A and B are shown apart, each in its own frame.
Chain A
Amino acid sequence: AQKVTQAQTEISVVEKEDVTLDCVYETRDTTYYLFWYKQPPSGELVFLIRRNSFDEQNEISGRYSWNFQKSTSSFNFTITASQVVDSAVYFCALSEEMLGGYQKVTFGTGTKLQVIP
C-alpha cells in the first residue's frame, strides 16, 4: 500500500526566511507520480507541481524549488524568502494508476506553514 508521510505538522517562520517542507513516501510501484498542493485559508487545493518517478531532476519555479530523491524516497519542497502569502497548508501526494484508468492518490496529512511578518 502507498503511504505519504509529512512529519512536520506545523512550521512557523519569519518572513524572508527559507523553509523546507519534508515529504517521504512509500510505494511498491516503479512508475508513480508525486505532487505538491497548496491549501490557503479559502480551502481550495491548488496544484503546484507534478514529478514522475523517472525524472529526478530538481525543479525551481520562482521562489519554489523541489528536491526529488528516489534513494531516500523523499520529495521535499523549499520556499525561499518566504512571504506572508505563503501561509497555507501544504500537501504532498503520491499517485498510482489503477485498473480502469483512474488515479488513486494518497495524500499526506499536510504541513501547516505560518509566515510571520
Chain B
Amino acid sequence: SQTIHQWPATLVQPVGSPLSLECTVEGTSNPNLYWYRQAAGRGLQLLFYSVGIGQISSEVPQNLSASRPQDRQFILSSKKLLLSDSGFYLCAWTGHYYNEQFFGPGTRLTVL
C-alpha cells in the first residue's frame, strides 16, 4: 500500500532563517505531488505541484520554492523565512488512475 511521509512534524524557526521540508511517497511510482499551506483556521492554499522529476509549477508567487530531485521526493524550501510563512504545510499525492489526493501528516511551522 502507499504511504506518504513528511518531516519534520513541527518546526520553530527565526525570521530570516532557511527552510527545508521534505515529503516522500512509498508504494507508487511517478505520482503527481503537491504542496499546500493551511493558515490557522483557514482553508488550503496550493503552493506547488509536480508531475515528474524536475518539473515544478508554482500556483502562487511567494517566498518559497520547491524541488523534486527524485521520483517520490518533494522538497519545499526557503532561503529566508518571513513571519507570514507560518502555517501548516501539507504534502499530497495522486496516482494516475484515480483523482483523490492523499495527504501526509503535515508540518507545523512557526516563524518567530
Q: Which residues of A contact B (CB under 8 A)?
A: 33, 35, 37, 42-47, 50, 52, 91, 95, 97, 100-105, 107-110
| Contact yes or no, B105 A50, CB < 8 A | no
* Residues of chain B within 8 A of A108, CB atoms compared: 43
| Contact yes or no, B102 A47, CB < 8 A | yes
User: CA A73 – CA B102 in complex, angstroms?
Assistant: 24
What mask results when residues 23 to 61 of chain B are scored 1 for a CB within 8 Å of chain A, else 0? 000000000100000000011101001010000010000
Q: Which residues of B contact A (CB under 8 A)?
A: 32, 42-44, 46, 49, 51, 57, 88, 90, 92, 94, 96, 98-106, 108
Name the distance in Å between B103's Cβ and chain A's nearest Cβ: 4
| Contact yes or no, A43 B101, CB < 8 A | no
- Selected from A37, A50, A107, A109, the residue in CB contact (under 8 A) with B99 is A50
* Residues of chain B within 8 A of A100, CB atoms compared: 51, 57
User: CA A50 – CA B99 in complex, angstroms?
Assistant: 8
| Contact yes or no, A102 B32, CB < 8 A | yes
* Residues of chain A within 8 A of B98, CB atoms compared: 50
Additional 14 contacts, C-beta under 8 A, given A97-B99, A101-B32: A35-B100, A42-B105, A43-B106, A44-B90, A47-B103, A50-B98, A100-B51, A101-B96, A102-B32, A103-B32, A104-B46, A105-B46, A105-B101, A110-B43
